[in-house]
Amino acid sequence: MAARTLSSWLTRPALKSMAHLRRLPSIPRQPNYAFLRSHYQSYTSAPFLSRLINIHPEVADAIANNRPVVALESTIYTHGALSEDFPHALDRLVREHGAIPAVCGVYAGVPTVGLQPAEIMRMVSEGAKKASRRDLAYLVGKGDKLHGGTTISGTMVLARLAGIRVFGTGGLGGVHRGGESSMDVSADLTELGRTRVAVVSSGCKGFLDIPRTLEYLETQGVLVATFADEGQERVEFPAFWARESGSPSPAVVRDEKEAAGIILAQEKLGIESGLLFANPIPKQFAIPRKDMEEIIATAVREAEEKGFTGNANTPYILKRIRELSQGKSVPANKALVEANVGRAARIAVELAKMLDGSPVTPRTVTTTTTTTTTTTSYEGFDAAGKPSAGRMINVESKEVEAKTKPEIVGFADLMKLP
């Protein structure tokens, strides 16, 4: 009787949608790890993800074949103050180093990995929300076809879901000055603590509390290693516009191959925290630390006096630094982003070599051409005019090495080179 009543209750029109619950497989009281694992894998498989994330075909092909890919954030375009041609410039830069660029963001409500320059320009013109980890589900699930320029945190989430290991950006967020009281700590730091992506940046923004930022990253289990110049003994963690911050780097890395080896080791060990590779700004674009400290102190003080906190704090401080530095921070910003993205691309290339065990064709290709010159001489001819059996043949071989710089569009073109 009770069973029939329940059955009739489920046939009510308003509750018909619940009937599928009866078809769910029963879950045993004791954990069945094989069951849980199979269901987890079904929800993290490529077909399921393809319904949630739009991955550009070129990027998807490169990921599937362990070719070098570099994730790029989109908030640098949607909320930055750089030129309109910057998306094209970074796209070319990554390709020149033999990798595929993958700009991440939310485009018209769809998480996208591999945004194209035209899509980025549309996001800029129509307006985009700054999207961290917390904002992704809101932008996607709301159904209003909203745009989202992903921060370092948001980009790491999408990159990890897509299977991208290396991410090049400008400067990391961190613990704000006075953060021990305000609890104003960037989500970038917690993201590094739980998402296995290698981030290449010029340290963190120079107006942050760098010693506390490094302490927080240590607590989160994040390796922080700074690229050092040859022969450099004391290596400091960089402060975005300045090459030194006064804080020693927790670890040091010498080149891209070394960085790639660390990334691969992290993956093989199954450690799920991220990696931060700090890349100091090129010397010719650096602003001396003492000059920046005075500018930063003024900008931070004004932000506090005017009540700029939370998400509004960083944009205001960056704007005032640009004004107080008389525009010097703008070319520095562009230079450090380009340096970081280029280095990220080179790391991705080295990592691709380690993953499949075969060399990746470099930009400059050395080809060897063999030219053969044959000289034939004969001792005599027979009655029919044919050479006699005693002929001699001398062969000279010469190898010519030539370096060419082919026009490279992407990694697929590299693979076609001889």
Residues with catalytic roles: 73, 205
100-107/110-113 β-pairing: antiparallel
Q: Which two tokens stand for residue 172?
A: 């990391």
223-227/251-253 β-pairing: parallel
Instruction: Spell out the alpha helix ranges (H) of 252-410.
Output: 256-268, 289-305, 313-324, 329-356
Residue 359 φ/ψ, nearest 5 degrees? -70, 145
3-state helix, strand, coil in the chain (%, to 5): 45, 20, 35
Q: How far is CA 230 from CA 188, 247, 252, 339, in A?
A: 30, 20, 12, 17
Q: How far is CA 95 from CA 88, 214, 304, in A?
A: 11, 32, 42
* Distance (Å, whole) CA 32 – CA 58: 39
CB atoms within 10 A of CB 194: 16
Cβ–Cβ < 8 Å for 211, 245: no
Cβ–Cβ < 8 Å for 254, 343: no
End-to-end CA, the chain = 78
Cβ–Cβ < 8 Å for 79, 135: no
Mapped onto helix, strand or coil, the DSSP state of residue 17 is helix
- Select from 359, 343, 349 the least CA-distant residue to 98: 349
* Distance (Å, whole) CA 123 – CA 12: 45
Mapped onto helix, strand or coil, the DSSP state of residue 346 is helix
- Select from 338, 331, 303 the least CA-distant residue to 241: 331
Instruction: Give me the amino acid identity at 4.
Output: R
